Structure 1
Amino acid sequence: MLSFGLVTVPVALYNATKKKTISFNQLRKTDYSRISYKKVDNDGVEVQQHELIKGYEISPDRYVVIDEYELEAITPQASRTIEINDFVKLEQIDPRHYDASYYLVPETGAQKAYALLLQSMAEANVVGVAKFVLRSKEYLAAIRPAEGVLTLSTMLFADEIVKAVEVETYLPCDVKLTDKELNMARQLINSLVTEFEPEKYENEYYKSVMSLIDSKAEAAVGAKQTEQGGKVIDIMAALEASINAIKAQEKPKKKRKTG
């Protein structure tokens, strides 16, 4: 159920993304039998599931023990309502906050209320900020129209974002840039500006691994490692080479004749 103010819209949640990752199991080389892991203590003795408790480490080898019933007492209650608390402009949300994405689809009888919210948000160009509980976990979410459907993106809370100031010691400082370097960099960037077409960016590694897996008839495991040594490059030469390469690609297009 999606709600804003006194308006409620029955909706269903569908995954809007499908992450393509590859995971491997560890096998014994001689017979391909799968390797399992056991929970053991410091002495190497296996610990049974019923013997396990939760502990939060506060200092080396010092733990605060938490019982299951204590966690259950403070676990947020599951709710079928996604309540929009605020509407904000899309550009005000830092992209670092976004996590997983879902589609919100109207349930039977909710088409009109859904269409009303969808069109109104699209015209106002706003994002709804909401909170909801899913599988005993509280989420912050951004709800916005996209391609004729309401999308919900779960978000990281403010205290989960690492502030840039925390890495400032690793950033370049007192770097002197010449006007020529800046102009060439701007020229290169401007020559590469285009419309964003996500379809043209593919996960080449995933495709290669899947192709390798498909081509093998046996359950063999192989790994190929390459080492790439670092080298110092001339930034001006790199910029100039990039610009020249782009110009070379554009020349044939200019020579084409019509008629």
Structure 2
Amino acid sequence: MRSIWKGSLGFGLVSIPVKLYSAVQTSSLDLDMLDSRDHSRIRYQRVNEHTHKEVPYDKIVKGYKINDDYVIVEDQDFEDAAPEKSKVIEIESFVDIDDVTPMFYETSYYAEPETKNNKAYALLIQALKKSKKAGLARFVLRSTESLCIVHPVDNVLVVTRIRFGQQIRSTEDLKVADDVTVSKKELDMGLALINQYAEKFDVSKFKDEYTDELLKIIHAKAKGKRATVKKLTPKKTTGDDLYDQLMQSLSSKKGA
């Protein structure tokens, strides 16, 4: 793997030199955009809006528009805006990881220590596991400030970028009632259904089946055939009564 960031991870007066590596990879198919008339690839060009000529990549700069003119922003400007955050993931506090709502999560990176047998790195992992806490920090990656949580996965520290609070939209405009009455009998049945389906989280049981099926269709078309398509079988209920539907769900799970 190739590192995408190099700096240090700090908590208190302890500093751990680390490298970050992407912990995720895409499983979707790499599809090219084609001209339907001759199947030639469509390529996107960086074109000057005045000369209509392609601009070499090394001639492209970033600019911020003020009034009718642009101020060019250079790499050094990004670093000067927050020099410590460009080189350091500084843990500002420790929080219960369960308090971080999943809708805040973005993407994760493995943090590798510069030296294999780093005692401070091992200490932080063990302390986080023991306390069941995660570090909350900020750092700059690719010219953008990111909020993140630092948490252990097995014997590795993981830096997971999370969204800032202002990036989460309010629920005010959603038409969701807050005064719907649910009877105790219905609630008990719902809890029973949840308990019946409860199991230890094991992500290895789940695969990207859609991409696999799409790939089968593509390979079949390449051979001039049509792949067998699964038919959608709608689930049937015998009525609109919520309690009855819950009862049927429990029974069908037992039967399975």
Same fold (TM over 0.5): yes
TM-superposed CA distance for 1:154, in Å, is 0.7
How far apart, CA to CA, are the structure 1 residues paired with 2:223 and 2:51? Answer: 34
How far apart, CA to CA, are the structure 2 residues paired with 1:207 and 1:147? Answer: 29
Matched, 1:69 2:72: yes
Q: 1:73 to 1:228 in 2, by over 3 A?
A: farther
Normalised TM-score (structure 1): 0.73
How far apart, CA to CA, are the structure 1 residues paired with 2:68 and 2:93? Answer: 38
TM-superposed CA distance for 1:187, in Å, is 2.2
Matched, 1:186 2:152: no
Equivalent position SS for 1:31? coil
TM-superposed CA distance for 1:12, in Å, is 1.5
Equivalent position SS for 1:164? coil
**CA RMSD for the aligned pairs?**
3.9
Q: 1:191 to 1:16 in 2, by over 3 A?
A: same
Please name the residue that 1:210 is paired with: 215
Matched, 1:140 2:147: yes
Normalised TM-score (structure 2): 0.74
Q: 1:38 to 1:132 in 2, by over 3 A?
A: closer
Matched, 1:172 2:172: no
- Runs of at least 5 residues in structure 2 that lack an aligned partner in the other structure: 1-7
Equivalent position SS for 1:75? helix
Q: 1:193 to 1:213 in 2, by over 3 A?
A: same
TM-superposed CA distance for 1:31, in Å, is 2.0
TM-superposed CA distance for 1:118, in Å, is 1.7
Equivalent position SS for 1:165? coil
**2:15 aligned partner, one-letter code:** T
TM-superposed CA distance for 1:176, in Å, is 3.4
- Runs of at least 5 residues in structure 1 that lack an aligned partner in the other structure: 57-62, 250-259
Q: Contact 2:62–2:72 at 8 Å: present in 1 too?
A: no
Deviations 1:101-131 (A, max 9, x none): 0111111266222112222222222211111
Q: Contact 1:86–1:128 at 8 Å: present in 2 too?
A: yes
Q: Contact 1:53–1:65 at 8 Å: present in 2 too?
A: no
Alignment identity in percent? 32
Deviations 1:17-60 (A, max 9, x none): 213223533323332112346789xxxx994566999788xxxx
How far apart, CA to CA, are the structure 2 residues paired with 1:72 and 1:66? Answer: 20
Deviations 1:216-241 (A, max 9, x none): 4379xx9x9x9999x99623443222
Matched, 1:90 2:97: yes
